[in-house]
């Protein structure tokens, strides 16, 4: 028995096609912001990194009311690295809003998120956004969307979707393709949602079954379980059973202390949630994603959530450098492990595992961006740690080792097409598609081993001076491709502790590219630059000038240092080799050798 006045819809799209901006417009149009005089853009991107990177990392929910119908909106990430968030969000909804840029058209992540929605047989409302762009090609993009549905083997009823043209930034829409009128609002879109997305099914009188799809925490209420009531009615104050992953373990039975529902951007306390509605529950500190809240007398668990497996792994360890503890407050392996355990509870696409050392933990994820976001979050929380270079997770298929295959779509100015093709060849990659874009740009599709695309993004950004756009996604598995080239030069390694001097760095910059400037604290084993030749180079960056009474023009020339290359977290973990680590603290990102002393490195090299 569906709830006629309720709709659950997820917003899915490629990165930067305007999902979060459209949610802002819908919240404004339905009066959620009426009581607020000021508000921020992209209000759903509440995480600091989301606002800085301009991407959505975590799926979030909000609620609006339209002509007597409550619409629950779930905003999802566009990056394939955060696909676990997308998959969880789709279990909470009955339909999707597919956003496509009016100039760019369907892009790699458009295909990825749509394939996930079609796999769950969710009806679609298509929104062609940014139709006011000077290079917009609305009718062509509409045709490309139909082609994408056909490519994904969509059923006939999936292809009968309404198309809405929108300028999300201005809150204007119209049915069909075209330019919304100056006085248009979001009525066309909201009406299409109510007409196209079905009301949630489920019998409110049946025994309770509610799936937990997300977790949150509150200083006052503790751990919160977020999800959807599939059958029955969830009532505050009644006893419910919590069905765990371990089927042999008996369900926990407990009284529901607090029940919340989504209202606008907030959560209000409610007495009940009926089948089809979204809920927030307090009182179960043991709850995990995928658990079922069920009828206390006859608990029947729902099928658990499944997501794509991780394809990359790296190690997180205690910071063992001589500068350990000078910048962070959370330093021990116990604190790092507890933090990663908390991450796994709320992030179904992250896995952690043990290593040979109790102070080092293996962390596996969907991509380098996802892992970099986790590390960045931890350093902002005050952690100090050291991380290794990511490596791929191999899979045995027909008795032979296979590695992850990645598909990258690169949007570059025409003059840099050769740069892409030259860069991908030594990485065992190949160009699978080349098509002209708009405004003097070309879209190049390449396929390569996931290992081969580590560092490819930063190389491309440098070569094209930041004008390239690159989007990657997992494209299956391929036979092991053999050894791949890494960086060209070797590491310049400091041979002592101290403060770097301009005099020493002036001499060293002739032998390679520096990563540090004068006056920075260095230690033995710290990498301070990349030399022009392969192989490790021991250097003294703390050397001062010998002072004498003799002054000549040649010896007293002013020191002119080039600006050092400052590594971001992403470029650092791409640059390091297997015997190197990235030291991450709240204030610094340093590169170092895994074994700090030269004698120890030589001894290990002889042993191997």
Average pLDDT, the chain: 79
Q: What is the pTM of this model?
A: 0.65
Query: Is the pLDDT assigned to residue 167 strictly greater than 80?
Result: yes
**Domain locations along the chain:** 6-196, 209-295, 395-479, 491-607
pLDDT band at 316 (very low <50, low <70, confident <90, very high): very high
Task: Give the list of residues 6+ apart from residue 499 with CB closer than 8 angstroms, or none.
Answer: 519, 520, 521, 522, 542
- Residues of the chain with pLDDT > 70, as a percent, come to 84
3-state per-residue secondary structure call for 91-155: CCCCEEEEEEECCCCCCHHHHHHHHHHHHCCCCEEEEEECCCCCCCCHHHHHHHHHHHHHHCCCC
∠ CA(136), CA(137), CA(141), 5° rounding?
120
Q: How many CB atoms lie within 10 A of CB 264?
A: 17
What's the pLDDT at 51?
38
Strands 469-479 and 400-413: antiparallel
Fold of the domain spanning 395-479: Alpha-Beta Plaits (3.30.70)
Give per-residue pLDDT as tens, 434-457. 877 656 778 888 888 888 887 777
Task: Give the list of residues 6+ apart from residue 304 with CB closer than 8 angstroms, or none.
Answer: 245, 290
CATH value of 6-196 in 1.20.970.10, 3.40.50.300, 3.30.70.260, 3.50.50.60 = 3.40.50.300
Mean pLDDT of 376-380: 86
Fold of the domain spanning 491-607: OB fold (Dihydrolipoamide Acetyltransferase, E2P) (2.40.50)
* Better pLDDT: 246 or 407: 407
What's the pLDDT at 371?
84
Is 2.40.30.10 the CATH number for 209-295?
yes
* Better pLDDT: 113 or 319: 319
């Amino acid at each position: 028995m569906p709830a006629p006045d309720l709709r659950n819809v997820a917003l899915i799209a490629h990165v930067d096609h305007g999902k979060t901006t459209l949610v802002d417009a819908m919240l404004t149009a339905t009066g959620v912001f009426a009581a607020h005089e000021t508000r921020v853009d992209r209000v759903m991107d509440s995480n600091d990194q989301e606002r800085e990177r301009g991407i959505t990392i975590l799926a979030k929910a909000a609620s609006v009311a339209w002509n007597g119908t409550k619409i629950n909106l779930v905003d999802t990430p566009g990056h394939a690295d955060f696909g676990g968030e997308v998959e969880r969000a789709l279990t909470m909804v009955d339909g999707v809003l597919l956003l496509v840029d009016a100039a760019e058209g369907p892009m790699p992540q458009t295909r990825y998120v749509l394939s996930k929605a079609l796999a769950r047989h969710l009806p679609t409302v298509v929104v062609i956004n940014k139709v006011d762009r000077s290079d917009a090609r609305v009718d062509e993009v509409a045709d490309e969307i139909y082609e994408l549905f056909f490519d994904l083997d969509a059923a006939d009823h999936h292809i009968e979707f309404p198309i809405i043209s929108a300028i999300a930034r201005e809150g204007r829409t119209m049915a069909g393709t075209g330019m919304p009128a100056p006085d248009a609002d979001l009525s066309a879109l909201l009406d299409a949602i109510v007409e196209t997305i079905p009301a949630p099914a489920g019998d409110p009188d049946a025994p309770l079954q509610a799936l937990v799809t997300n977790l949150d925490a509150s200083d006052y209420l503790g751990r919160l379980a977020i999800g959807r009531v599939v059958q029955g009615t969830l009532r505050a104050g009644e006893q419910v059973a919590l069905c765990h992953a371990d089927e042999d373990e008996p369900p926990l039975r407990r009284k529901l202390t607090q029940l919340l529902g989504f209202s606008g951007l907030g959560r209000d306390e409610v007495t009940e949630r009926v089948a089809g509605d979204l809920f927030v529950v307090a009182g179960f500190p043991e709850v995990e994603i995928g658990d079922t809240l069920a009828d206390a007398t006859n608990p029947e668990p729902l099928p658990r959530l499944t997501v794509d497996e991780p394809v990359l792994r790296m190690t997180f360890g205690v910071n063992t450098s001589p500068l350990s503890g000078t910048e962070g407050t959370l330093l021990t392996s116990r604190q790092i492990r507890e933090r990663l355990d908390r991450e796994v509870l709320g992030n179904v696409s992250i896995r952690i595992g043990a290593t040979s050392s109790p102070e080092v933990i293996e962390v596996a994820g969907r991509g380098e961006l996802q892992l970099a976001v986790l590390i960045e979050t931890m350093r902002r929380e005050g952690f100090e740690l050291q991380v290794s270079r990511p490596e791929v997770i191999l899979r045995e298929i027909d008795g032979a080792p296979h590695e992850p295959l990645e598909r990258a779509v690169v949007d570059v100015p025409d003059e840099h097409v050769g740069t892409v093709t030259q860069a991908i060849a030594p990485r065992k990659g190949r160009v699978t598609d080349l098509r002209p874009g708009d405004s003097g740009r070309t879209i190049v599709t390449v396929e390569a081993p996931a290992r081969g695309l580590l560092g490819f993004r930063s190389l491309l950004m440098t070569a094209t001076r930041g004008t390239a756009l690159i989007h990657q996604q997992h494209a299956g598995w391929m036979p092991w491709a053999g050894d791949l080239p890494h960086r060209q030069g070797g590491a310049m390694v400091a041979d002592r502790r101290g403060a770097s001097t301009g005099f020493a760095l002036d001499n060293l910059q002739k032998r390679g590219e520096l990563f540090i400037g004068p006056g920075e604290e260095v230690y033995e084993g710290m990498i301070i630059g990349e030399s022009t030749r392969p192989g490790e180079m021991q250097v003294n960056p703390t050397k001062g000038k010998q002072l004498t009474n003799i002054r000549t023009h040649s010896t007293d020339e002013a020191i002119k240092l080039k600006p050092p290359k400052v590594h971001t977290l992403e470029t650092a973990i791409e640059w390091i080799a297997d015997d190197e680590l990235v030291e991450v603290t709240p204030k610094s990102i340093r590169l170092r050798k895994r074994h700090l002393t030269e004698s120890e490195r030589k001894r290990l090299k002889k042993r191997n």
